[in-house]
């Protein structure tokens, strides 16, 4: 081969190697640039830090307006406090934030939460928190065992939207929950919830006291009642009457109301109902799917529901657990007061009250029918026996089997200063009925006693029975006394 040819070949080879090196270098640089870009994309942007707004029931934090995730800092303090359970009844509640239920927490799906749990130095017990909204061991309980005077911190990401219960999970778990350690945390979906006019926080719980319902004083926890699932009280928002009177929920005609309803339990399932309303939507068990046109919704212990309805007609709407003895005898009763103009096309109110005479205008009876004559008492013992039956038939539902009445609704007949001070006045009340405010044993009652269709003999019998039971002063009421008292009764 000629020398020039060899030199040319060497030059070309060198150029070839050089070009390969350049391409290789370019390829490496490109790969590095892509890796850098991918790493930057994979590194999450620093989230804005927001301090969570926490509210006491029945208030709810404002809806979340932001369209992005945030780092939300929650500071929640455990306190053991003595508070009212019912009129004249106190209880040592264990609380998240000083009240029952605990603070309402509102966050957004995909938020990162930095959760601080503080246990007040005056607490006598360690506590932790299990949030059903948390994906992780114990819902956070494994990371938050907190001694009195200490603070623990953990982080979680809100993966799933919904309304979730939180509660203490320190042993004995049932006792911590039964003492009031529960609340709600709402994880709003990314798109938020539909706008409404009013939002409220209502949470049911069952309490187990040594004394029966209404027994006064500082009541201790009764473990045996809790094990037997026999609560002394079933209440909304931690006490009897927490949502009645001047504490009632409020709305105006035409407004859309959303209730965030939870059930801390620890044992009872709630049959949540608003008397006189139909839920337009119920997000069953606090999830994302809505059912429509619901009368009563089940809320399990440790569960929740979101209910929505429009207030079409003014008036007072009663919130109850429709396991109805719990509402009227154990405290699971609240009130929504709706103000505004009448909507007669939706609800007329009473337009007629008349005697109902079916199948013609003439009263009918069997040809040989004759009403048996009422028994006439010939002595006090017989009067007491007849009066006992009359009381069970006519009075017991309101004034109760032992004459104890129902606090805030029906006055007691047991040891009643109202009865014992003036028997003739009592006769007049039974005979004519009574409406308006009265004071019985130092407490005010403002309800209606209907006029009872009893004969003078029957009034004498039932009042003789009442006056000779439950610590009252005794004696005998006669039909002649009833006749005289009826004519002179004034109130």
Distance CA 308, CA 280 (A): 6
3-state secondary structure of 186: strand
| Residue-by-residue DSSP string for 219-252 | EPB-HHHHHTT--SEEEETTSTTTTSGGG-EEEE
168 marked ligand binding residue: yes
Helix (H) or strand (E) holding 21: helix 3-42
Answer yes or no: is 176 a known binding residue: yes
Residue with tokens 């991918």: 38
* Cα separations in angstroms, 472 against 459, 469, 488: 17, 6, 24
- The answer on whether 132 is annotated among ligand-binding residues is yes
Residue 265, burial from CB neighbour count under 10 angstroms (0-12, 13-18, 19+): buried
Query: Is 120 labeled as ligand-binding?
Result: no
Q: Is 399 annotated as a binding residue?
A: no
Cβ atoms 160, 118 nearer than 8 A: no
Token digits of residue 286: 């606090």
Tokens of 235: 């209440």
Residues sharing a CB contact under 8 Å with residue 217, sequence separation 6 or more, in sequence order = 88, 89, 90, 211
- Tell me the residue ranges of DSSP E strands in 266-332: 270-275, 279-283, 290-294, 296-299, 303-310, 315-321
> 354 Cβ partners below 8 Å, 6+ apart?
none
Extended strands (E) in 57-111: 71-86, 89-96, 104-108
Backbone φ and ψ of 387, nearest 5°: -65, -35
CA angle, 75 as apex, 69 and 78 as ends, to 5°?
Answer: 140
3-state helix, strand, coil in the chain (%, to 5): 25, 30, 40
Tell me how far apart the alpha carbons of residues 245 and 438 are, in angstroms, rounded to a whole number: 17
Structural contact between residues 114 and 155, judged by C-beta atoms closer than 8 angstroms: yes
User: Per the structure block, which two tokens stand in for 28?
Assistant: 């490496």
Nearby residues of 44 by Cβ (< 8 Å), 6 or more positions away? none
The distance from CA 389 to its chain's CA centroid, rounded to whole angstroms, is 37
Q: Which two tokens stand for residue 133?
A: 């909204």
Tokens encoding 471: 């610590």
Closest CA to 301 of 261, 354, 254, 347: 261
Query: Is residue 312 classed as helix, strand or coil in its secondary structure?
Result: coil
Name the binding residues for Cu cation. 127, 132, 167-168, 176, 181, 322
Name the binding residues. 127, 132, 167-168, 176, 181, 322
């Amino acid at each position: 081969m000629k020398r020039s040819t060899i030199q040319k070949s060497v030059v070309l080879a060198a150029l070839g190697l050089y070009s390969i090196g350049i391409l290789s270098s370019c390829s490496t640089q490109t790969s590095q640039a892509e890796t850098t870009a991918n790493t930057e994309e994979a590194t999450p942007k620093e989230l804005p830090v927001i301090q969570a707004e926490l509210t006491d029931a029945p208030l709810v934090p404002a809806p979340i307006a932001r369209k992005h995730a945030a780092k939300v800092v929650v500071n929640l303090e455990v306190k053991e406090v003595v508070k009212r359970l019912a009129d004249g009844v106190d209880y040592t509640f264990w609380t998240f934030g000083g009240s029952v239920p605990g603070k309402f927490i509102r966050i957004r799906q995909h938020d990162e939460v930095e959760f601080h749990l503080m246990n007040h130095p005056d607490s006598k017990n360690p506590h932790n928190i299990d949030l059903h909204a948390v994906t992780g061991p114990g819902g956070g309980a494994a990371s938050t065992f907190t001694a009195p005077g200490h603070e623990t911190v953990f982080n979680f990401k809100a993966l799933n939207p919904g309304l979730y219960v939180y509660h203490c999970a320190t042993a004995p778990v049932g006792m911590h929950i039964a003492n009031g350690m529960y609340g709600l945390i709402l994880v709003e979906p990314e798109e938020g919830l539909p706008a409404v006019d009013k939002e409220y926080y209502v949470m049911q719980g069952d309490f187990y006291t040594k004394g029966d319902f209404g027994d006064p004083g500082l009541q201790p926890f009764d473990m045996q009642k809790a094990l037997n699932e026999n609560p002394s009280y079933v209440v909304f928002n931690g006490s009897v009457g927490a949502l009645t009177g001047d504490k009632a929920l409020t709305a105006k005609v035409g407004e859309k109301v959303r209730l965030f309803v939870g059930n801390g339990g620890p044992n009872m399932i709630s049959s949540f109902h608003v008397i006189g309303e139909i839920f337009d939507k119920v997000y069953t068990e606090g999830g994302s799917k809505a059912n429509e046109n619901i009368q009563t919704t089940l809320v399990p212990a440790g569960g929740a529901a979101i209910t929505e309805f429009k207030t079409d007609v003014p008036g007072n709407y009663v919130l109850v657990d429709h396991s109805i003895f719990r509402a009227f005898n154990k405290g699971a009763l609240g009130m929504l007061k709706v103000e505004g103009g009448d909507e007669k096309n939706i609800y007329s109110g009473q337009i007629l009250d008349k005697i109902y005479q079916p199948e013609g205008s003439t009263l009918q009876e069997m040809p040989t029918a004759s009403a048996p004559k009422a028994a006439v008492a010939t002595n006090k013992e017989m009067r007491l026996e007849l009066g006992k039956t009359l009381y069970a038939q006519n009075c017991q539902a309101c004034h109760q089997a032992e004459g104890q009445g129902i606090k805030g609704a029906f006055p007691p007949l047991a040891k009643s200063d109202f009865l014992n001070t003036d028997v003739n006045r009592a006769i007049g009340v039974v005979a004519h009925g009574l409406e308006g405010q009265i004071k019985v044993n130092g407490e005010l009652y403002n309800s209606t006693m209907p006029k009872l269709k009893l004969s003078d003999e029957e009034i004498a019998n039932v009042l003789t029975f009442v006056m000779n039971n439950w610590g009252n002063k005794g004696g005998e009421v006669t039909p002649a006394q009833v006749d005289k008292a009826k004519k002179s009764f004034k109130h």
